[in-house]
Structure 1
Amino acid sequence: MSTIPGVVAEPELRDWLVEALGPHVQDDYEATRLLLDTFDLAAKEGNSLNNPHHIATCIASTPSTNGPWTPVHTDQAAATLHAAYRITRKPANYGALFVDLPMPVVVSRHQCPFCRRFTRADIRQVNDHMTRCWQNPALRCCKTCIHHQDGSHPEDDESCTHPTGPEWEAYRFPVLHCPIWEAAHPEASGAQESP
């Protein structure tokens, strides 16, 4: 017994449309909804599958020069659909093939232990980031130094407040492996000051 659904012939589609819609297609979006409840429509040209906008455009009413738009005759809609789409019937148990809710997916992410802002699924990217993270005390960077003025206020500039540190004109943030670095929070960082 074949599990691949057979292609619906044009007379079968026409009979179904007449039964479901009557002699004319009055509302192309309602007709599309009814079609997609029963059939799968795969475009013969292109990769469109069950696209309601394409299907509705295919069977839409045509404008008339002498008044309102004329509805499409059901025979014409069946011929147009059959020419544009490979039409197959959906299985009888189609509604039972799907679960009611999306399935949850558990994702593992890795976080930088220093800044706690950088997170990635790939641990290699986080390891790479940790080697240059400004919050890593092993880098002896300005952000973890007690002498760093962060410039968070409009009147302050990013600078070093150490007496022997660079002047504000010569200061280039961030300075890595600074010889005058002192831990801003020694108990939190666990880093040792240089002798």
Structure 2
Amino acid sequence: MATPYVDWLVRVLLEAADGERAALHAARLPTAVTIPVTVVRHQCPHCRRTWAKQPSAASHVARCWYNPAVRSCKTCEYHEPGEAAGGCWGDPYCNCPEIPEGCAIGAATPMVTDCPLWQPLHDLIGDRS
């Protein structure tokens, strides 16, 4: 048989434990202050794509279509860029070319790298997006 004192003591201890739990929970809630995060990305200097890992970016730069050292069609004087269609079957998000990319002298179909007939494009633009 419990005495009134024991009942009172149990009630007070349970209320104190509930208060402590509520205080701990409130301390874990997010605050309105944001935490700045620095993110490092590695960007290709020719086409401006980015990667999280440096080896992946370096691998891409070595084969990037816009890198003149690769001697690809995109940086060649003879490159004929394709013309975008108005959309396939009325789809405005379709990227199918109406006129595909080509080579003015027929040296490359499809596009290639290390072309023996490659000539540097005189108006190369470094800022491609």
Same fold (TM over 0.5): yes
Equivalent of residue 173 in structure 1, options 98, 103, 110: 110
Q: TM-score under structure 2 normalisation? A: 0.61
Q: Report the CA distance shift for 1:180/1:188 in structure 2 as closer, same or farther (over 3 A).
A: same
Counterpart CA distance in 2 for 1:148 and 1:135 is: 12
Structure 2 residue aligned with 1:23: none
Matched, 1:110 2:39: no
Counterpart CA distance in 1 for 2:82 and 2:41 is: 32
Equivalent of residue 102 in structure 2, options 159, 179, 192: 159
Counterpart CA distance in 2 for 1:173 and 1:150 is: 12
Q: % of aligned pairs identical?
A: 37
Counterpart CA distance in 2 for 1:106 and 1:135 is: 29
Over 4 Å off, 4+ runs: 186-189
Counterpart CA distance in 2 for 1:151 and 1:104 is: 43
Cα deviation digits, residues 129-165 of structure 1 (max 9, x gap) = 1111101110100001111111124453321113xx3
Equivalent position amino acid for 1:185 in 2: H
Equivalent of residue 184 in structure 1, options 121, 124, 127: 121
Where does structure 2 lack aligned partners over 5 or more consecutive residues? 1-10, 86-97
Q: Report the CA distance shift for 1:181/1:152 in structure 2 as closer, same or farther (over 3 A).
A: same
Matched, 1:150 2:87: no
Q: TM-score under structure 1 normalisation? A: 0.43
Counterpart CA distance in 2 for 1:143 and 1:133 is: 9
Larger Rg over CA atoms? 1
Structure 2 residue aligned with 1:127: 58
Cα deviation digits, residues 94-126 of structure 1 (max 9, x gap) = 42444333312110111000111x201211110
Where does structure 1 lack aligned partners over 5 or more consecutive residues? 1-11, 17-37, 40-88, 190-195
Q: CA deviation at 1:177?
A: 0.7
Q: Is the 8 A contact 1:142 1:173 kept in 2?
A: no
Q: How many residues align?
A: 100
Q: Which has the higher contact order (CA 8 A, sep 6+)?
A: 2
Q: Is the 8 A contact 2:103 2:109 kept in 1?
A: no
- Cα RMSD after superposing both structures: 3.0
Q: Is the 8 A contact 2:44 2:60 kept in 1?
A: yes
